[in-house]
């Protein structure tokens, strides 16, 4: 083991591999014992112990007092009896996503793999199945890259309560909830940082998943900044160098890891302009403020997902989209339908998305996109507000909004709407010494000839009577 003074982060620097930059779109799935109550959000495991919170009051009313029914008592109700890894894999394929995986462990100490490191796992409790392992097999059979997401740094101080009768304070329950810690340790940056025992467990869980499943992407949620630097270094070094995963990549949030060891992830946000470096945003299909299945779920329409994907890709990013299954392992029909609609759009316009790179100009149009991120300030606000998150709302785009990508000699102009007069006017490609001469234009998904003219004000493109697809429309410019 190296001490902090001997760590050389330059030895574990890694650029995003070509496959990741080409993939553009991934899916992940919040599924765990928190999916059983399905009340408000996946922070239920924490907030059910926060006296007076809405989830605490709901829990006591529905399941009883905390000394009689704790979070561990959901394990037997979490059965995943309808979980079908082949169905999950087919949904990923139909959606057009190229990498995917279930949440490997959330903040609740319940490992969603066959773990010998942590006895509290989905093989010993609940489903009695290796959810991660079965997904890995089904996904890889279909050429889907494997994503493993880790949120378990949040376990430090997660199960805290002012109710001294709560089951989290029963000594024999430590294996379920971790050490009983002072209440203040559930802050984003606690006054008491994790000890060596916690850091070691944090590291060993990740290394076990690397050894068992060889994931192509390791995703770390926020708050990894509290983990000891040596332990984080050992994970990165093991993944990149010792396990010899030459095509693997790590994604991380905020400043939780040093620059250049992987890909920065912007939670529920995006950049206003294109970046020179590859990045990722993770966001939700859910229109409730939750990452897991909840009672009476709401979902964002496919048009919003497609527009976000176009915006992110034009700015050198990937979109990682979450959808939460039911506790039985099945998906809501509406969620499945929306994902398939996104996939239908990609079947038509995927050439303008997959394996592209940003054009020198990324965006055009009247709709501004602000720099936004579910940052430390928002996380602290959530912690102080009984776990209730704030949301980042996305704006509605129009047919005057364009996103640009390129691949080889082709440039793609994606219109985020269909104009009523069937004429697209693109200022970015007006006739000038700086702009290329456009020789030919195709409308992806259409065999109709496309008439156009390049003027001193615009590239004017006449569209056919009917759009070839919904939501957004991709022009392939030959220059």
Q: What is the pLDDT of residue 269?
A: 87
The whole-angstrom separation of Cα 61 and Cα 198 is 33
The confidence band for 387, taking pLDDT boundaries of 50, 70 and 90, is low
Q: Which pLDDT tens digit goes with each residue over 114-129?
A: 999 999 999 999 999 9
- Per-residue pLDDT at 450: 98
Asked if 187 contacts 383 with a C-beta cutoff of 8 angstroms, the reply is yes
pTM, 2 dp: 0.95
**For 136-145, 209-218, 368-377, which range has the lowest pLDDT when averaged over its residues?**
368-377
Instruction: Tell me whether strands 249-253 and 263-267 are parallel, antiparallel or unpaired.
Output: parallel
Residues 6+ apart with CB under 8 A from 224: 153, 232, 252, 253, 256, 257
**CB-based contacts of 239, cutoff 8 Å, min separation 6:** 206, 210, 218, 245, 248, 250
323, 339 contact by CB (below 8 A): yes
Q: How large a percentage of the chain has pLDDT more than 90?
A: 88
4-331: what CATH class?
Answer: alpha beta
More confident residue, 70 or 393: 70
What distance in Å separates the CA atoms of residue 72 and residue 159, rounded to the nearest whole number? 11
Q: What average pLDDT does this structure show over 190-206?
A: 96
Local confidence band at 377 (pLDDT 50, 70, 90 cut-offs):
low
Residues 136-140 have a mean pLDDT of 99
DSSP code at position 299? B
pLDDT category at 213 given cuts 50, 70, 90 is very high
Which has the closest alpha carbon to 321: 339, 294, 345, 296?
Answer: 339
The band of 379, judged by pLDDT with boundaries at 50, 70 and 90, is low
Which strand (E) or helix (H) includes residue 377?
Answer: helix 376-384
Q: What pLDDT score was predicted for residue 115?
A: 99
**What is the reported pLDDT for 473?**
99
**What letter does residue 326 receive in the DSSP assignment?**
P
Q: Which tens digit of pLDDT belongs to each residue from 76-89?
A: 999 999 999 999 99
Q: Is the pLDDT of residue 422 over 60?
A: yes
Token pair belonging to 287? 């229109």
Express each pLDDT in 317-375 by its tens digit.
999 999 999 999 999 999 999 999 999 999 999 999 999 999 999 999 999 887 876 56
| H helices, E strands: number in the chain | 11, 16
Task: Write out the two tokens for 348.
Answer: 């038509």
Instruction: Report the pLDDT value the prediction gives residue 3, as an integer from 0 to 100.
Output: 61
Mean pLDDT of 186-210: 94
Domain ranges in the chain are 4-331
Helix (H, G, I), strand (E, B) or coil at 208: helix
Report pLDDT digits (tens) over 335-346.
999 999 999 999
């Amino acid at each position: 083991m190296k001490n902090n003074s001997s760590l050389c982060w330059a030895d574990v620097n890694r650029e995003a591999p070509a496959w990741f930059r080409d993939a553009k779109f991934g899916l992940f799935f919040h599924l765990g014992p928190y999916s059983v109550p399905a009340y408000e959000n996946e922070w239920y495991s924490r907030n059910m112990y926060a006296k007076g919170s809405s989830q605490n009051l709901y829990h006591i009313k529905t399941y009883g007092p905390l000394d009689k029914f704790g979070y561990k008592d959901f394990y037997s109700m979490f059965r995943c009896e309808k979980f079908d890894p082949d169905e999950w894999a087919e949904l990923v394929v139909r959606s057009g996503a190229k990498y995917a995986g279930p949440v490997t462990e959330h903040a609740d100490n319940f490992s969603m793999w066959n773990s010998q490191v942590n006895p509290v796992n989905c093989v010993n409790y609940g489903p009695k199945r290796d959810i991660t392992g079965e997904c890995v097999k089904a996904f890889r059979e279909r050429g889907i890259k494997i994503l493993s997401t880790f949120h378990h740094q949040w376990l430090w101080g997660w199960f805290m309560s002012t109710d001294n009768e709560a089951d989290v304070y029963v000594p024999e329950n430590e294996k379920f909830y971790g050490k009983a810690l002072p209440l203040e340790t559930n802050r984003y940056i606690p006054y008491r940082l994790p000890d060596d025992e916690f850091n070691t467990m944090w590291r060993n869980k990740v290394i076990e998943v690397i050894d068992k499943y060889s994931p192509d992407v390791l995703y770390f949620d926020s708050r990894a900044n509290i983990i000891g630097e040596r332990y984080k270094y050992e994970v990165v070094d093991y993944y990149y160098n010792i396990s010899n995963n030459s095509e693997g990549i790590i994604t991380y949030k905020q400043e939780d890891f040093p620059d250049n060891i992987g890909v920065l992830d912007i939670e529920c946000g995006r950049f206003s302009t294109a970046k020179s470096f590859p990045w990722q945003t993770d966001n939700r299909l859910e229109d409730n403020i939750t990452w897991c299945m909840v009672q009476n779920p709401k979902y964002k329409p496919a048009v919003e997902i497609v527009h976000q994907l176009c915006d992110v890709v034009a700015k050198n990013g990937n979109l990682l989209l979450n959808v939460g299954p039911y506790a039985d392992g099945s998906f809501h029909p509406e969620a499945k339908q929306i994902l398939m609609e996104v996939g239908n759009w990609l079947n038509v316009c995927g050439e303008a998305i997959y394996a592209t790179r940003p054009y020198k100009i990324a965006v055009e149009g009247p709709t501004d996109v602000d720099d936004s991120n579910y940052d430390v300030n928002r996380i602290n606000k959530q912690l102080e507000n009984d776990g209730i998150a704030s949301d980042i709302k996305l704006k509605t785009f129009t047919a005057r909004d364009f996103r640009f990508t390129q691949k080889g000699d082709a440039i793609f102009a994606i219109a985020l709407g269909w104009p009523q007069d069937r004429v697209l006017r693109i200022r970015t490609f007006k006739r000038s010494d700086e702009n290329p001469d456009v020789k030919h234009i195709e409308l992806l998904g259409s065999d109709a000839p496309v008439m156009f003219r390049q003027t001193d004000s615009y590239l004017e493109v006449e569209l056919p009577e009917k759009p070839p697809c919904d939501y957004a429309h991709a022009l392939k410019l030959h220059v």
